[in-house]
Amino acid sequence: MAKFEVPRDQVVVRTIDSWAFDLISHFPLLAELDVPPAPDWDRSAEYHRGAATAAQSKAVRKMLRLSYDIVLVDEYQDCLIDQHGLVVAVAKAVPTTVLGDPLQSLFNFGGNQPVDWATHVLPNFPLVEVDYRPRRWPENEALGTWLVEIRENLLHGRPIDFSTGPIALVRRDDARTFVRVCFRALKLDGAVAVLGQFRNDCVSAASNLQGTYSVMEAIDEKVPAKLASTIDTKPAAQVAKALVDFAINASAGLAGHIPSAKRVRLGNGQTFTTTKDELKSAYAAINNVRSKVSPTAIRTALSEIAALPGVTIHCREAWYEVTRSIAVAETDDCTVAEALLLTRNHARVAGRRPSDRIVTRPLLAKGLEYDHVVILDPSRYSAQELYVALSRGARSVTVIADSPVLAARRVAGGSSE
């Protein structure tokens, strides 16, 4: 909206989830739900259904008509069935347009039920034919045109020949080819995204890149939640070890300072010491956690660990989420798990902290734009993941592959246009 100079007082930008929760919070009786003070996103489907119920009432329909002239719902290919029910209910009160591309549907996993274009979308929102106009690529129009051209190949299971496109193709010589490519990309002007497939791919890549890139996390990433639960419920020795394990997985250079044998001793309540002067402060802080778990002790330990020589944090979003939750638990006198929930709810509203050197995956990068993209291994992607990955870079795309021709990709979920 800022890019197109839309006045802030004329538009409200929200996620379906947060908007639905706000609606049922104001109208719990109409939603027929017992609404908690803070959202529990494991119940998001209930919130969608409750909001749809409320939106069908005369009072809420009147409020919606007075509040909005039009509703636009983007990324509709990933709209879940329960969310779709809410949008249909809102559309009966306010003119509504949904925007989406089945070739960018990525939520076909884990029991998710995204809308089907033919079954759910078109009967409620008539199709408007528009030309594909590659607006994202004013500085590389050839890339935008090529991406439009390969859509048919992806949708119909045909191979993709990278050598025919305006992209940089790098043949994989060894397991560290990507390191050389990504270090070179640091010199590029603008934001750079390195794309893997799963979180472990991204963490491993970022570790090899020595903290020069940061890992983008899902808003409901399980690693911080697991650590928060451990801090709240487990014995002190287990908490201390979990804290160190988290720090090692989130950073590069720390494992050499606290080797695995010492981590085992830490968790077993045995002697945990060092003879190296530059490490003694961090070891003492970790021992303080093992002596008595408290937000203050944990915050100090993480601070000391991050300051150790040669240590770089690459899971900076997860690190910030944990340290922020510890601070909230300290000031609000609540559990770390409760503080994490508050931190995440704030992040849903405020958005991500910007980073111009990121390691992420198509699922999280969808809807975002970067100047340059490096794709680590296109052979692991579905057709949709590949298209999303290739279309994230506005100025350049670099693909690391074993061959210039990529075999036909599977269309996950069978979404139809």
State how far the Cα of 108 lies from the Cα of 213, in Å rounded to an integer.
Answer: 28
In a domain, 3, yes or no: no
- Tens digits of residue pLDDT in 299-317: 999 999 999 999 999 999 9
Question: Do the beta carbons of residue 137 and residue 394 sit within 8 Å?
Answer: yes
Where a domain ends, among 70, 91, 121?
121
Residues 179 and 252 in one domain: no
Residues 346 and 379 in one domain: no
Q: Please give the biggest Cα pair distance in the chain.
A: 73
pLDDT for the residue numbered 412: 76
Rounded to two decimals, the pTM is 0.88
Domain that holds residue 74: 8-121
Stretch among 55-69, 380-394, 400-414 having the lowest mean pLDDT: 400-414
- pLDDT exceeds cutoff 50 at 417: no
In a domain, 308, yes or no: yes
Residues 275 and 200 in one domain: no
190: left (phi over 0), alpha (psi -120 to 50) or beta: left
Where a domain ends, among 62, 92, 121?
121
Residues 341 and 282 in one domain: yes
Where a domain ends, among 70, 89, 121?
121
Q: Which two tokens stand for residue 340?
A: 């994490």
**CA triplet 247, 252, 256: central angle to 5 degrees?**
85
Per the structure, the count of domains in the chain is: 3
Residues 25 and 116 in one domain: yes
DSSP state of 80: B
Calculate the CA 49 to chain-centre distance: 25
Is 405 or 345 the better-scoring residue by pLDDT? 405
In a domain, 249, yes or no: yes
Residues 98 and 154 in one domain: no
Residues 260 and 162 in one domain: no
Q: Inter-axis angle of helices 81-91 and 16-26, to 10 degrees?
A: 60
- Tens digits of residue pLDDT in 95-110: 999 999 989 999 877 7
